[in-house]
Amino acid sequence: MDSESPSRSRVLRMATSLYQGAETVIRFALTFVLLGLLAALALAVWRGRPRVPSGAALVLDIKGDIVEELSARSARDVLRGAGGGTRQETSARDLIDALNAARDDRRIKALLLSLDDMDGAGVARLQDIRTALVNFKKSGKKVVAYADSYTQYPYYLASLADEIHMHPQGIVLIEGLARYRMYYREAIDKLGLEWHVFRVGEYKSAVEPFLLDGMSPEAREADLDWMGDIWRSYLADVAAARKKTPEELTALIENYVGRLEESGGDGGRLALKEKLVDKLSQRDELRKRMIELSGEDKKRKSFNRIGFREYLSALGDDRKKKGKGDAVAVIVAKGEILGGSQPAGTIGGDSTAALIRKARENEDVKAIVLRVDSPGGSAFASEVIRRELELVRNEKKPVVVSMGGVAASGGYWISTSSDEIWANPNTITGSIGIFGMFPNFGKALAKHLGIHVDGVGTTPLAGAFRPDRPLDARVAEGIQATINRGYEEFLERVAAARKMKKEDVDRIARGRVWSGADAHKIGLVDKLGGLEEAIASAARKAKLPGDHRVLYIQKDLSLKEKLLGSFTSRDGFLARLLAEEDGRPDSSVLRVIEQNLEEEAGRLASWNDPRGMYAHCLCEVP
């Protein structure tokens, strides 16, 4: 044994040296990344503002999802994003500001919509951008769209272009709207789990995956209703832009496979024949066309251009100088509603209330517009935000709500304390209902692992909420009573805000989701229109002059968040540095299942309502 001790000692020393060496390499790598971040920031400061070349084409290179407010990014997000784990985002406000500024900017001669990397948005949000595009076209400047292929949402914007170009091997694929979810009832039974669900409202379908193996008739009816409204709006807008009728476009979509077979499987030729695109162009042919419109940049060996992010940077503070004197404050409430303080680009009961309080205490702010883009979440956090808006109104400052793509359940709760509610006809709203869930794993532990739980408590409530113990029937009754009371409170809030009887609200509530157009008909919203109309209405209510300011109130980013944002937002250098060139997301069936379960588990893990009571619709359309 003694003779082996020196060998063990040497192995231990070698292992320690290897560990220390690895630690040094990791520290060096992290230091290199940090120095890169600082160097990029210093270089950006040294270069100053970009210059807008004369006669340039403005390029709207839309990447990822179009959102109301960009999410704060952590270093972990950036690293995950390099491998495809985090979706890219483009700010709707940035796109609209760039279009509005370029419309009257003599240096901008044309517009190119580059749509290959665009993902989702929702028709309601796209319509605000579409309005800005329509206004831009009034300047007489040419609008060109290009993509290798077009999917549904990018094509919605492209349809407005004077010239739609597509690669000859491309395809225009307009599918329609769909909402499919995984249902877990049979799996829950097989695993021996007990999933206690408490809800009010037969249309409150957010919890159905834990109760059923498919949609309820009520959910099917409601979903087809509001999706039908949005789809008809999409068809009408695209058909009008392409000088077709909605019926012609519908016939093409419903018979697409047959039409594609008639074209020999050539999607590009079919799109050209059906006048969905104007020209099939290779990329060099598009460059040649853009050089005709905006001149040649001989240094780049391409057309004279500037990206919209660089264009906004070139505008600098001029972009934010909208009027003078008294202001209308705009606060964005985007994402799920969670308790406490949440990062920028999300809704926190405390952090969003703090933004509202900041606007309320600002003497220059005479009115507030709350831009809501949320499917809801914590009922408690929703009430914290609603109360803060009530304090604003108590000080005689008007509050106007502008609903974006979705403002349902908790998103509607926070909208009730307002002087006026505006919604897009395609907004998803309503879903006035409450639910709570309590899973129990006791039987599953005993069945699969042989683990049993036993003990004593001094009262019936002691240990009653352990997920490894059966839920006492009396406790379940108490939870349902709390849920019922939450629903009654929701009805009371809506009835008071909308000047309706509570029983009349109940008839249109019960968890049912409505389109903005239908919500307007039944009295849940006051006006149909976008953010700009809501801002103008708030200014009128505050009796502000025409040259009033528009002030966006946002959560301040930390230095680390600013560094990460500035380093990753434009060119994604760090993501490209870390990503493998041949990396592709795994689209296998198992990966799809895994992603769905990860999303569901992540959502449940983030919910933090102190009473376990949620006003959430889970009703976004991808």
Distance CA 204, CA 618 (A): 10
What is the SS3 assignment for 132? helix
Q: How many angstroms separate the first and last alpha carbons of the chain?
A: 66
R_g of the chain, CA atoms, integer Å: 27
The greatest distance separating any two alpha carbons of the chain, rounded to the nearest whole angstrom, comes to: 93
Residue 567's pLDDT is 47
SS (H, E, C) 433-501: CEEEEEEECHHHHHHHHCCCCCCCCCCCCCCCCCCCCCCCHHHHHHHHHHHHHHHHHHHHHHHHHHCCC
Residue carrying structure tokens 């009033």 = 548
* Tokens at 581, concatenated: 């060139």
Residue 274's pLDDT is 97
- Name residues of the chain where pLDDT drops below 50: 1-4, 45, 75, 78-85, 567-587
Residue 237's pLDDT is 96
Q: Is 409 a catalytic residue?
A: yes
Q: Is 402 a catalytic residue?
A: no
Residue 575's pLDDT is 39
Distance CA 45, CA 48 (A): 5
Model pLDDT for residues 215-236, shown as the tens digit of each residue: 999 999 999 999 999 999 999 9
Distance CA 418, CA 497 (A): 8
Residue of 63, 142, 204, 244 with catalytic role: 204
Residue 541's pLDDT is 97
Residue 590's pLDDT is 55
Residue 351's pLDDT is 96
Residue of 149, 409, 418, 515 with catalytic role: 409
Cβ atoms of residues 205 and 282 within 8 Å = no
Distance CA 167, CA 171 (A): 8
Beta strands across the sheet bearing 56-61? 279-280, 163-166, 142-147, 108-114, 56-61, 305-307
| CA-to-CA separations, 207 to 379, 613, 618, in angstroms, rounded | 15, 12, 9
Residue 521's pLDDT is 97
Distance CA 357, CA 335 (A): 20
Q: Give, as one character, the DSSP assignment of residue 575.
A: H
In this structure, the strands spanning 108-114 and 56-61 are parallel
- Residue 437 φ/ψ, nearest 5 degrees: -135, 145
Counting Cβ atoms within 10 Å, is residue 604 exposed (0-12), middle (13-18) or buried (19+)? exposed
Sign of CA dihedral 269, 270, 275, 277: negative
* Tokens at 355, concatenated: 């933004």
Close Cβ partners of 401 (under 8 Å, ≥ 6 residues apart)? 369, 370, 372, 407, 415, 418, 420, 421, 422, 534
Cβ atoms of residues 417 and 390 within 8 Å = yes
Distance CA 398, CA 411 (A): 19
Distance CA 177, CA 162 (A): 26
